[in-house]
Structure 1
Amino acid sequence: MTIKIGDTIPDVAIVKVTPDGPDKTTTAAYFAGRKIALFSVPGAFTPTCSAKHLPGFIDKADAILTKGVDEIACTAVNDAFVMAAWGKSAGAEGKVTMLADGNGDFVRALGLDFDGSGFGMGTRGQRFAMVVDNGVVKRLDIEAPGEFRVSAADYQLAAL
């Protein structure tokens, strides 16, 4: 079942990329007591994700944070080392926190996974954006397959 507005984020293991290396945590701990703008991409270094999605949130980070958001995070079904390299190459440090969902447990628990095997990608996360306040989903925008609109930084900023 797909998560919806008003639901609590399921508690699963994730890895937060930090300057000191991977930091294993849980979604319950990560989202507790804070308002997080989270967006999901199908994969690090993929075309739309690298050219538009992550750069948009980096560019709009300051404006998003002035809307009462405590942190902006990007997640993908990639390991922490790939997410760290992608974040570094994109200039995300200090603007967007990279969250590794290496086995896809998080997106699967959200009901927002998809089978990318036809593209040689295995299980991946759908492209979406959500606002999570103290572990509860307050806003959720899921892209239609092949689309990039409602999860974009400009769209999310306007909705805040």
Structure 2
Amino acid sequence: MTISVGTEVPDVTLFRATSDGPEAVNTKEFFADRKIVLFAVPGAFTPTCSAKHLPGFIAKADEIKAKGVDEIACLASNDAFVMQEWAKSQNADGITMLSDGDLAFVDATGLELDLTGRGLGKRANRFAMVVENGKVTHLAVEEPGAFEVSSAESVLTKL
């Protein structure tokens, strides 16, 4: 079943790169007592993700945070090291890069995209959500191949 507005985010472990190596991020703790915009991409360094999705959130970060958002996070099924390098290549200093390499979050939320037949395996579907105090207040999930409802501009209209 796919997560929906009003549902709490699942209690799973994601990872982010640090100077000491990958650091576990418990989602219950990460989303507690804060307002966070989380957007997911099928893969770091992929065309739409690198040309439009992440750059849009980088460009609109100040506007999004001015709407009371504490943090903007990008999730992908790539490992934490790849996410770190992608952030560097995109100058994504204000975006928290989260690795869901085990698909724990996307499996628990029903937001998986199966691209096995295209050589890409199982990944996060492209989506954006607003989470307040651990509860989803807005969710926009793209149709496969689309990039419309999960853009930074679209999220801004929902804040």
TM-score (norm 2): 0.96
> Is residue 143–residue 150 contact of structure 1 (8 Å, CA) maintained in 2?
yes
How far does the alpha carbon of each residue in 1:70-101 deviate from its partner, in whole angstroms, 9 at most, with x for none?
000000001000000001110011x1100000
State the match for 2:52 in structure 1.
Answer: 52
> Is residue 78–residue 103 contact of structure 1 (8 Å, CA) maintained in 2?
no
- State the alpha-carbon separation in 1 of the partners of residues 95 and 50 from structure 2: 13
- State the alpha-carbon separation in 1 of the partners of residues 88 and 74 from structure 2: 13
- State the alpha-carbon separation in 1 of the partners of residues 19 and 154 from structure 2: 29
State the match for 1:145 in structure 2.
Answer: 144
Q: How far did 1:22 drift? A: 2.3
* 1:130 equivalent in alignment to 2:103: no
- State the alpha-carbon separation in 2 of the partners of residues 26 and 34 from structure 1: 14
- State the alpha-carbon separation in 2 of the partners of residues 17 and 133 from structure 1: 24
CA RMSD after TM alignment: 1.0
Number of equivalent positions: 159
State the match for 2:112 in structure 1.
Answer: 113
Q: How far did 1:20 drift? A: 5.1
State the match for 2:69 in structure 1.
Answer: 69
- State the alpha-carbon separation in 2 of the partners of residues 134 and 16 from structure 1: 21
- Opposite residue 96 of structure 1, the aligned amino acid is I
TM-score (norm 1): 0.96
**Is there any run of 5+ residues in structure 2 with no aligned partner, and where?**
none
State the match for 1:30 in structure 2.
Answer: 30
Q: How far did 1:18 drift? A: 3.9
**Is there any run of 5+ residues in structure 1 with no aligned partner, and where?**
none
* SS of alignment partner, residue 144 of structure 1: coil
- Opposite residue 26 of structure 1, the aligned amino acid is N
- State the alpha-carbon separation in 2 of the partners of residues 35 and 83 from structure 1: 22
- State the alpha-carbon separation in 2 of the partners of residues 26 and 78 from structure 1: 17
